[in-house]
Amino acid sequence: MRAVVLQEFGTPLILSEIEKPTAGPGQVLVRVRASGVNPLDTKIRAGRAPHARRTLPAVLGLDLAGVVEEVGAGVTDLAPGDEVYGMTGGVGDLQGSLAEYASVDARLLARKPGSLTVREAAALPLVVITAWEGLVDRAQVHQGQKVLVHGGAGGIGHVAVQIARARGAEVFATASPARLEVVRSLGATPIDHTTTDVDEYVAKYTGGEGFDVVFDTVGGPVLDASFTAVRTYTGHVLSALGWGTHSIAPLSFRAATYSGVFTLLPLLTGRGREHHGEIMREAAALADAGALRPLLDPRRFTLATVADAHAAVESGTAQGKIVIDVD
Within 10 A of 170 (CB to CB), how many other CB atoms are there? 17
Please tell me the predicted confidence (pLDDT) of residue 97. Answer: 98
Q: Which CATH class is domain 127-260?
A: alpha beta
Within 10 A of 42 (CB to CB), how many other CB atoms are there? 18
321 DSSP 8-state letter:
B
Please tell me the predicted confidence (pLDDT) of residue 231. Answer: 98
Bridge-based pairing of strands 146-150 and 170-175 is parallel
Identity (one letter) of the amino acid at 294? P
Longest dimension (CA), the chain: 61
By C-alpha distance, which of 111, 118, 115, 119 is closest to 82? 111
Please tell me the predicted confidence (pLDDT) of residue 327. Answer: 86
Residue 76: exposed, middle, or buried by beta-carbon count in 10 A (0-12, 13-18, 19+)? Answer: exposed
Could you write out the DSSP letters of every residue in 84-132?
EEEE--SSTT---SSBSEEEEEGGG-EEPPTTS-HHHHHTSHHHHHHHH
Please tell me the predicted confidence (pLDDT) of residue 272. Answer: 96
Which residues sit opposite 31 in a β-bridge?
A: 67, 101
Please tell me the predicted confidence (pLDDT) of residue 3. Answer: 98
Kindly list the domain boundaries of the chain, sorted by start residue: 2-124+268-325, 127-260
Taking the C-alpha atoms of residue 232 and residue 204, their distance in angstroms, rounded to an integer, is 17
Taking the C-alpha atoms of residue 198 and residue 219, their distance in angstroms, rounded to an integer, is 15
pTM, 2 dp: 0.97
Identity (one letter) of the amino acid at 2? R
Query: pLDDT tens per residue, the chain (327 residues)?
Result: 999 999 999 999 999 999 999 999 999 999 999 999 999 999 999 999 999 999 999 999 999 999 999 999 999 999 999 999 999 999 999 999 999 999 999 999 999 999 999 999 999 999 999 999 999 999 999 999 999 999 999 999 999 999 999 999 999 999 999 999 999 999 999 999 999 999 999 999 999 999 999 999 999 999 999 999 999 999 999 999 998 899 999 999 999 999 999 999 999 999 999 999 999 999 999 999 999 999 999 999 999 999 999 999 999 888 899 999 998
Please tell me the predicted confidence (pLDDT) of residue 189. Answer: 98
**CA 145 → CA 26, 47, 141, 199, distances in Å?**
40, 40, 7, 19
Please tell me the predicted confidence (pLDDT) of residue 317. Answer: 85
Contacts of 285 (CB under 8 A, 6+ apart): 113
Please tell me the predicted confidence (pLDDT) of residue 243. Answer: 87
Q: Which CATH class is domain 2-124+268-325?
A: alpha beta
